[in-house]
Amino acid sequence: MKGLLIKDFKLLKAQRGFFTVMIFMTVGLAFSVYDTSFIIGYLCFILPMFALSTISYDEFDNGNAFLFTLPISREGYVIEKYGFGILLGIGALILAVALSLIVGSVKGTGDFTDILLSVPYIFSAMTVFLAIMIPVQLKFGGEKSRFVMVALVGAAVALIVGIAKVLGLMGVDTRMLTDILSSLHAGILIAGAVGLALCAALLSIKVSIAILSKKEF
């Protein structure tokens, strides 16, 4: 797994020009919006997507046929992709929080407490995002996975709208449910978000291992 991580970080290093431009764009965005915590979510979703790109790099020109002749297991390969994505997310989180606090201090709009409170929610959302995207990428590849993701987003939106309408027909006040959630202690909400993300990641790893185990190279 260490060798796979080194390989992926070398691929990341080859894209340093792109990431430099992205950081400058992020700083520009931070100065153009009032709430600088926006860039935390932005970076935490952009940087971990490179973990998905490494899967495409591995598949390019039937590269997996060579890669799996090396002393690595398919289970180890899958776990490394999740680990690499999480490491990128942690790095993005640290960088984004630092930029957000610096730019917020310069503009006089930074709220240290709000920024720190947003961190576990954004990190949990990023983990769920990886938990959805990595098995999709492994199953369908780079091109098809984009269409599958659009279909999944559409299905999720339709499901949320459908549930809201059903609850409305049943006489359930959705605003009351929102008020109940917002009245809960921050610690409970954070624990719930982190727990959901952890469960999604563990389930996703099992699905990804099953997908890769059935592939032939």
Domain assignments of the chain as residue spans, ordered by start: 2-213
What is the pLDDT at residue 34?
67
pTM of the predicted structure, to 2 decimals: 0.80
Does the structure show a pLDDT above 90 at 98? no
d(CA 213, CA 36): 43
Does the structure show a pLDDT above 90 at 206? yes
Does the structure show a pLDDT above 90 at 216? no
What is the pLDDT at residue 163?
66
DSSP secondary structure of 105-125: HHHT---HHHHHHHHHHHHHH
Residues 6+ apart with CB under 8 A from 58: 64, 67
Identify the three-state secondary structure at position 146: helix
Rg of the chain over all Cα atoms, to the nearest angstrom: 20
What is the pLDDT at residue 184?
60
What is the pLDDT at residue 204?
92
How does pLDDT run across 131-161, given as a tens digit for each residue?
A: 988 898 888 776 666 666 667 667 766 766 6
d(CA 142, CA 73): 22
Which tokens hold the place of 65?
């046929």
pLDDT confidence bin for 210, thresholds 50/70/90 = very high
d(CA 37, CA 212): 37
Contact 58, 68 (CB under 8 A): no
Residues 6+ apart with CB under 8 A from 147: none
